[in-house]
Chains A and B, each alone.
Chain A
Amino acid sequence: MTSKITRGSAAAAVAATTALVLSGCVPNAGTGSATLIDVVSSADNCEVSVATASAGPITFSVKNDGNQVTEFYVLGSNQLTIVGEVENIAPGATRELTVVADPGEYFTECKPGMIGSGIGTAAFAVTGEAATVDADQQAAADEAVANYVAYVKSQVEELVPQVDEFVAAYVAGDDDEARRLFPLTRISYERIEPTAEQFGDLDPQIDYRKPGAEAKGLEFTGFHRIEMDLWLDQARENYPDEDLQPLSAAERQEVGDQLVANIGELHALVASDEFTLTLSDITNGAVGLLDEVSAPDGKLPGEENEFAHTDLYDFRANVEGAQVAFDTVRRIAAARGEDGATLVEEIDAQFTAMLALLAEYGDYETGFVDYSLVTQAERNELGAQLNALSEPLSQLTNVVLGLS
């Protein structure tokens, strides 16, 4: 009863409708009563005609008043999980997005140019009772995959200009600015790390640590190569037997250009029509993101950013990425009997506790504590909470795919 927008199908100039299924379920027959809300996407704003709606089918009619192709998102309360997205809205065109929303807090935003961060982010509240829905498992699975694919794409869209800015500062020799941008630029990448890792040799070029690159016989490039140059004193301390020298302007240009090119390649790959994921990619990816934190060369031992000590930024980003993956399949899991409902509740509680504990060490805006100053006892506590979250999350794949 609903058609999904196929990525890149600009031909669908007529009002395409994406069933936006928060619940992983589809509405009962007869969605004629959907609330209709107007959205205007302009060069610098994203105006939604009302900020609240009743639970049930809600149709956003998105008009592009700007001069670039635009996208419109409905996001979860964490402002990361995509609960509905309509893209490729040409200048002057209008497209529709229908979501079946349960009561809760949401956010809306537009992304003119379909690159960078969203703009005009605004709160949107859904009130009333959860809609009665039929369980259509295939439709629910399709929607979850579509939403997660959209999320991966949106993160890479944010990453592209951030990497440009970071590399520009580095190449220009503005080291203070480059050091400030380094951890912030990595956030979007860390949120989708397992997806990036599936593209063969791309992740090694973008994100390998020095020992990892050397062990694989690869040239040391990417984020951590630049990190080593920006925190050279720490690098010399970590590798006292090596004669580490600062990179010349030409070398900076070369390593910077390569990172920009690699990220461009990543963007092309996830924007491609061929790019898709499976439900188990999503659920296993959630656990994989947390494994990135606890790995012996990961964030918890402070090895990921061994020169910059900005591991807590990556830590939080990995956790956020896992939470989005979980959020995307939440309603599928919650519908799997008592086991599913209990698991969802447990995972929710542990995500809340994990993010609260991380918040004691700072946030993206004001900065996180230098990880070298985090004591062993504090690291143990972070690790204990990470275990507390990872154990129930490791049950998610079976609940989503193994139970019915």
Chain B
Amino acid sequence: MRRAPHSDDADSPVDPASAGSPEPADAVLRPSRRALFTAVGAGAAGLAIGATGGALAASAASGTKGATSTGSVAFEGAHQAGIVTPAQDHLHFAAFDLLRSAGREQLIALLQEWTEAARRLVRGEDLGDGAVDGAPLAPPDDTGEAHGLAASNLTLTFGLGRALFADRATGTSGATPIADPFGLRDRMPAEFEPLPSFAFDLLQEAVSGGDLCIQACADDPQVAVHAIRNLTRIAMGTAHLRWSQLGFGRTSSTSHEQQTPRNLFGFKDGTANIMAEDTAALRESVWVGDDAPAWLRGGSYLVTRKIAMTIETWDRSSLSEQERIIGRSKGEGGPLSGGAEFDAPDFAAVHTSGGTAIDRDAHVALAHPDRNDGMRMLRRGYNYVDGSNDLGQLGAGLFFIAYQSDPAVFVRVQNSLKSDLMNEYIRHIGSGLWAVPGGVGPGEYLAQRLFD
């Protein structure tokens, strides 16, 4: 496990809070930022700004639905935005595979083009010559569905798959792999190990993995979709969309400013999450440390799991059974050992009818940091419903997203969930692991230091 010393993020020269943002936040944000100070108190907000860099340019009204869509989040900063940024309401996540013909040069060119496009997209600007002002005989540079829409706190977070650091299998069966196609084999961090198989995995190749990924989050789903659609178009010729996932209704809070939302089981989710304000916890558990290669410093590891819920059977289980499975009350979200939502669960507390108040195999009991050597991750998942299946069952579930300083943290916690009572109602059908490079400075492109 990585437990390395970290620099103080607030001292980072690219931190807008300390050095002045190179891309000043919109004027419309200022009242919101002031509102943040008022609401949380200057001390707490100051810490948060130090910890989150560009993310804090976000409207402070996050968590108040409908009030945030005019905000914008700076693209540049010590860390990529979209991790500690207060979780927006909508997600479009996309995974890409590089074409066989793409080499190091094409990969760099793609990252450069994506960076330039991302800088514009997060400001709510159309790409290229725009959606409506281009040459009449040419396809518009921008697809247009976000034309006239606000930035909607769009964040774009980019990740690199392990395949970039390895020999490359080809699409045609029997063809020889291409050796080290991007010249990155020597740059792979030791801890970047593939996830093992877990009990109850029913993974589908078609919704798993990918050489590159983009997490687009926004308060307006159209803005998130527009971003992925246009970034996909830009990638054509170099990378190909492998799979993508829409999500609605964030299932985690990443700031104490936000209310804890509910997942499709109807329970509050992510109560014990790492929040933007928990600077120490972020340093400890989310950001990769200073002993990491330069390109990964200030970065993180991103794990996604597409978790299908068999909600029809869940809905037929009694309220008390549902609460026993989760280990929390369905209403308040307090632990069954007593107290309110944010009170610590007492796993030793005894129920009046005998046995522990929180079942030893309840989800909260197995997932809690106290039961995992204190290991924590920042969760940022979304609910999803992909229509319904052939049997008339809703294609519902949770698109789980977690950021951690080492993939082994996720592995440790996931292994703890083997006997989780919740397993009867879920199946992991998609999985992904990416290294998320550190933030992008002025004039830089994504992961630039990886290629230096």
Contact = CB atoms under 8 A, between A and B. Distances in A.
A384 interface: yes
A380 B240 contact: yes
A395 interface: yes
Interface in B101-147: 101, 135-139
Contacts of B138: 394-395, 397-399, 402
A375 B173 contact: yes
B206 interface: yes
A1 interface: no
Contact of A387 (B100, B135, B237, B242): B237
A101 B139 CA distance: 33
Interface string A368-399: 00000001111011011101101110110111
B232 to A, nearest CB: 9
A257 B185 CA distance: 63
| Interface SS of A by simple majority | helix
Contact of B100 (A381, A398, A399, A401): A381
B172 A383 contact: no
Contact of A388 (B99, B171, B242): B99
B302 to A, nearest CB: 23
B139 A384 contact: no
A360 to B, nearest CB: 5
| Interface SS of B by simple majority | loop
B237 A377 contact: no
A262 to B, nearest CB: 34
A48 B80 CA distance: 67
B262 interface: no
Given A376-B206, A378-B171, A388 B135 contact: no
A381 B139 contact: no
A226 B206 CA distance: 36
A43 interface: no
A384 B101 CA distance: 11
Contacts of A385: 99, 101
Q: Which of B97, B100, B101, B175 has the most CB of A within 10 A?
A: B101
A280 B175 CA distance: 40
Interface string A340-356: 00000000001001000
Nearest to A400: B137
Given A391-B233, A391-B237, A381 B137 contact: no
B237 A388 contact: yes
Contacts of A402: 135-138
Interface string B191-213: 00000000000000010000000
Nearest to B239: A384
Nearest to B172: A360
Contacts of B237: 350, 387-388, 391-392
B178 interface: no
Q: Which of A376, A388, A398 has the most CB of B within 10 A?
A: A388
Given A376-B206, A381-B100, A391-B233, A397 B137 contact: yes
Interface string B230-267: 00010011111010000000000000000000000000
Interface residues of A, number: 25
B96 to A, nearest CB: 10
B236 to A, nearest CB: 4
A392 B206 CA distance: 28
Nearest to B232: A387
A375 B169 CA distance: 15
Nearest to A388: B237
Nearest to A392: B237
Nearest to B238: A388
Contact of A401 (B137, B139, B171): B137
A385 B175 CA distance: 17
Contact of A377 (B137, B171, B239): B171
A329 B242 CA distance: 34
Nearest to A352: B101
Contacts of A360: 172, 175
A154 B138 CA distance: 30
Contacts of A394: 138-139
Given A360-B172, A378-B172, A378-B173, A383 B135 contact: no
Interface in A261-310: 280
Contacts of A384: 97, 99, 236, 239-240
Given A376-B206, A402-B135, A381 B236 contact: no
Contacts of A380: 97, 171, 240, 242
A22 to B, nearest CB: 24
Interface string A317-345: 00000000000000000000000000000
A391 B135 contact: no
A4 to B, nearest CB: 26
Q: Which of A376, A387, A402 has the most CB of B within 10 A?
A: A387
Given A395-B138, A402-B136, A402-B137, A383 B240 contact: yes
A350 B236 CA distance: 11
A224 B191 CA distance: 56
B171 A353 contact: no
A238 B240 CA distance: 30
Given A391-B233, A402-B136, A402-B137, A381 B173 contact: no
A383 to B, nearest CB: 7
Q: Which of B139, B236, B242 has the most CB of A within 10 A?
A: B236
* Closest 5 pairs between A and B when the two form their complex, measured CB to CB: A384-B240, A398-B138, A381-B171, A388-B237, A398-B137
Interface of B: 97, 99-101, 135-139, 171-173, 175, 206, 233, 236-240, 242
26 contacts: A350-B237, A375-B173, A377-B171, A378-B171, A378-B172, A380-B97, A380-B240, A381-B99, A381-B100, A381-B171, A381-B240, A383-B240, A384-B97, A384-B99, A384-B236, A384-B239, A387-B236, A387-B237, A388-B238, A391-B236, A394-B138, A394-B139, A395-B138, A395-B139, A398-B135, A398-B138
Interface of A: 280, 350, 353, 360, 375-378, 380-381, 383-385, 387-388, 390-392, 394-395, 397-399, 401-402
